[in-house]
Amino acid sequence: MDYQENKDKVEDDKPRLGGVSDLSVIEESEQMRANGDSYYPQSQERPQRSEEQLSNSHPARSLSPDKYADVEGLGRRTRSLSAVQIQGNNANNVIDEYPKMPRRSSLASGNRPRMQKHVSFSSSSDEKAIASAGDCIRAMQAGTDMIKIRSVTRHYKRTFVLDQDMASLTWKPSTKKAEKAFIKIIDIREVFKGQTTEIFRQLSKEDYSEDCSFSIIYGDKYESLDLVASSPDEANVWITGLRCLLSNRKRSAVRGSGFLIEEQVMSLVKQMAPHIKLDQIISKHKECSLSDGTMNRTQFLNFYKEITTRPEVYFILVRYASTGDFLTVGDLLTFLESEQEVTKLSKEECLGLIKRYEPTRRGRREGFLGLDGFIKYLLDQELFDSKHLKVCEDMDQPLSHYFIAASHNTYLLEDQLTGPSSVEAYKSALLSGCRCVEMDCWDGPNNEPVIYHGQSLTTKITFTSVLHAINEYAFVASEHPVILWIQNHCNPKQQQAMSRYLKEIFGDKLCTTFINGNRKVLPSPKALIRKIILKGKKLPVSLKESEGLVSDEECSSNIPDNTDKKKNKKDNSHSTRKHIKLIRQLSDLVDLKCVTFGGFLDVKENNRNYYETTSLEETLALKLSQASPDEFVTFNKNFLSRTFPAIKRVDSSNYNPQDFWNCGCQLVAMNYQTRGQMMDIHTGKFTQNGSCGYVLKPSILREDFSYFNPGSKESIPGVDPQILHIRIISGQNLPKPRGSGSKVNVVDPYVILQINGIPIDCAEERSKTIANNGFNPVFDESYEFLINLPEMAIVRFLVKDDEHIGDDFIGQFSIPLPCMKSGYRHLKLYDDTGELIPLATLFVHVTMIGKRAFGSYKRGMSLKKLKKTREYAQLKTVGIKSIDEIFKEAVKPLRNSADLRDNVQIAIAQFKEMCGLAPSSNMKQCIKYLTSRLKGSSQTFSLSITSNEGYPHLEAIGGVPEGYKKSITTFQSMIDEGRILLDSGPDLQERDELFSYISKESGVKNKKLMKVKDNYGWNIAVMKGQVELLIAAYQEFEVYIQQIHDVGNNSTAAKAV
């Protein structure tokens, strides 16, 4: 049976299966011995042959020698056999169709003259001659005694036999069970002549003759079976026979036309489904194929469907398919609008998607998307929003308004005590998007400064080599500025060399106009494109000498006490600090001045300069975040602060960067050389803005009149909490953990969902375990998380192996919440080194909705009842009468704004509930549900969408069922509430102007403002946030109105049958 016949019934665009119908076959050994003839498929007419032809015919023809090996490959094999002879025209001993081994010159020129070949391993005239590959096969089936080499000391005499089906090689006697003492021919990878393996190399040359030795390489792990025959001829019989079987397997099927061998199956499936891992195909192939590894047409189709059909995707497809198990253009458009949040997509664009993803010609021609095409489309729908692959945030803000990717002790490759230092560490950090690197500079030989971890056993690298690396790689991954922190421990002479090298190597890249007398805030990243900024110690402006003393203390590790008693003690101890000489030449190159942290009160009283920065050790930074979180946030709005891992982390482990981002710290330095959960979070964070090394902080962490306490359990004023709904559907091609000690490749995966953000948002959930399935485990579990500050949340998907030996980590993916796309998405997994795992993915469904309405709404609640229980954001008393009066006047309009927004959102929730849909569904899904109910109704009526003064109106004609009337009434209530909201639009701008009025007319500034800043900031944040939420609700309902109009324009009134 030809594999290609009736192909249109299955799929008219699948690649042809490698010329399967032209493949030659190997005859059953019994048939070979019976008539010595070749096998002809039933579809071919067997040619008539004369008695002379029959007598001269050779059993070797059953091996299809004209096709089983290419000329070059045959030459390579036969050249290794000492007894092979190429003879001219001996008609009684030739195989007409068997190609002779070409000479070396023939191979080079490409000439392949067909000659006749005779193979003889006979050493004497009275021995039975081995005249062909067929004779080799028969000799192997008869059995041969050989020595099996297991190790240097373990040598066993065994009888090796090729079974009658030519499917496996067995040996006996054996200490193994009979079912284990064999090797399948399909598992053999190569046959080597001589003593080429590691076991043979360990033997003495005198032990066995090399001409009698050969090795069989088999299995996925390329194990070796090392054998020694009693004579070179006997070894050559096995080498020739096995190579014949291997070569024939590669070019022909075993049982006749219409069968595929393993290599062909692997090639075809990889061509048609490249998203499936090869080892998964091999594993499934062993379950579905015949004992000899072949497949017929029906078996291959079933095998392909089983390995490529994902049931969880099929159920999604049939849910949206109007007819059959495929999506029409209209079906696909509905799916994209309902699930993927795609808007303004035309049918022509949908047809373009079908032509792009549908593999069959018929599907592309007739405009429908089958399951294979749908899977291919979904694999391209990544969870990460592609707009964040480029710089997408405002880069004109001051540097203090950004989180900046920073490295700690950048020069180290390993631990902090004895680890090697390397220039490669700088290259790696910069290429990964790091924008702040550290140089610990010390005196070196020959007046050449060196970099290493001082007072440790780490190795040293030269100052100049690091500068050259930074100069070359600074702006490869990102063009935004690089901050170079120089910890200077060098003498004045070597400082001169440092300043000279900095100017010579960096040239115009070195920033020298950072400090400006007219400037009050730090410059922006955009203003410093492709600039290198030096951070370090700096001489006072008032000092006129060419050098001066500065503190050698770069970092702060203790909370300063600002009481007078302690202050005097601190002043007395000031003289005991270690100081170093700093030359003016180097000082003038520094733009960001490092100063010791003296407490928040010290910052207020001493009028700190905008270009002064502070480095805080991990322990001190944590204490500040717990003792004075709001002051820490306020400090970081205007000044740069750097945190770094505690000194006790000698193993170069990392802290949780989220703890310090929550307080607005810009430079949260990490040990880039140490991968793990904390670096995963760090790496994920900076994907939010094109991996450029800069991420804009949320407004509450950078605006002057805003209040934020990261440790608070209360809702954040002006921020609408979000409900994040994640459904973990399935995984694909999950590998065995890298460090697993298990010998099997099967895993028992489970998924952990981690939410990292402000403390009130942090959460973790674990899925069930799927036993023995890393290929396509289906979890199908859903989780909900309340996110109070979405801009700071990072979601981490972690996949582990439940039945592990050693390491249980399979892969992970960390993504900022603002970068997540809604709908059905695939996310790619990364290994423990941060590298992408080929083809390993998770399939998820994500939705995110505002909590304000749906968080308090319960099934069946009325608006009247909800109004009685509604909670409003409260304004706080500032303590200044004029300001409190203004805030008091704002209370009523703020409540009205909240009512407008909540009434609309609750009306929408009630309508979706009436439709039986989740709060995350959109209007198009709701209208589609209503029209689908028409088709199932026993009463005859119609439904149309009309426009009434620009607002949609549902009109039902005929005998409308009672349940349907409720849906229409709920729909109309939703439209009415939204109309009130939209009509209030002109008042929004007036309320927004209230903020400017309060800020200008209050007269609160400087020290007086400091006393009331907390409550004042809270009130401003509440008022501004309420207006922003109202505007967002206004815009959201406008989108809903447009969706309803679109449905009305694209469909006619439905009629019940």
Residues serving a catalytic function are 408, 453
The per-residue b/e assignment along 518-547, b for 16 or more CB within 10 angstroms, e otherwise, is eeeebbbbebbeebbbbbbbbbeeeeeeeb
Say which residue the tokens 């392949």 belong to.
112
Q: Please give the full DSSP string across 1036-1056, using - where no structure is assigned.
A: HHHHHHHHHHHHHHHSPPEE-
> Which strands, in side-by-side order, build the sheet including 155-162?
182-184, 168-172, 155-162, 144-149, 223-228, 213-218, 188-193
List the structure tokens of 513.
Answer: 């106009």
Whether 408 contacts 436, CB under 8 Å: no
Distances from the Cα of 1051 to the Cαs of 143, 330, 796, 945, 951, in angstroms? 77, 11, 42, 9, 18
Give the residue among 777, 725, 780, 781 at the shortest CA–CA distance from 755. Answer: 725
Rounded-to-integer distance, Cα 579 and Cα 554, Å: 11
Say which residue the tokens 């199956």 belong to.
265
Whether 622 contacts 386, CB under 8 Å: no
50, burial (CB in 10 Å: exposed 0-12, middle 13-18, buried 19+): exposed
Rg, Å, the chain Cα set: 39
The enclosing H or E element of 204 equals none
List the structure tokens of 985.
Answer: 């639009």
Give the residue among 991, 742, 1026, 762 at the shortest CA–CA distance from 901. Answer: 1026
Say which residue the tokens 């291919």 belong to.
376
Phi, psi of 670 (to 5 degrees): -125, 155
Distances from the Cα of 281 to the Cαs of 284, 286, 318, 483, 995, in angstroms? 5, 9, 26, 49, 64
Rounded-to-integer distance, Cα 926 and Cα 390, Å: 35
The enclosing H or E element of 583 equals strand 579-583
Q: Please give the full DSSP string across 139-193, using - where no structure is assigned.
A: HHHH-EEEEEE-SSS-EEEEEEEE-TTSSEEEEES-SS-TTTSEEEGGGEEEEEE
List the structure tokens of 903.
Answer: 């009434």
Residue 275's contacts (CB-CB under 8 Å, 6 or more residues apart) are 375, 376, 379, 732, 733, 839
List the structure tokens of 267.
Answer: 């090639």
Phi, psi of 442 (to 5 degrees): -135, 160
Residue 179's contacts (CB-CB under 8 Å, 6 or more residues apart) are none
Using DSSP bridges, classify how beta strands 402-407 and 667-670 pair: parallel, antiparallel or unpaired: parallel
Total number of residues shown for the chain: 1057
**DSSP-derived secondary structure letter, 499:** H
List the structure tokens of 304.
Answer: 């392909």
Rounded-to-integer distance, Cα 724 and Cα 709, Å: 23
- Residue 634 bridge partners (DSSP): none
Rounded-to-integer distance, Cα 966 and Cα 687, Å: 47
Using DSSP bridges, classify how beta strands 118-119 and 951-958 pair: parallel, antiparallel or unpaired: unpaired
Whether 159 contacts 229, CB under 8 Å: no
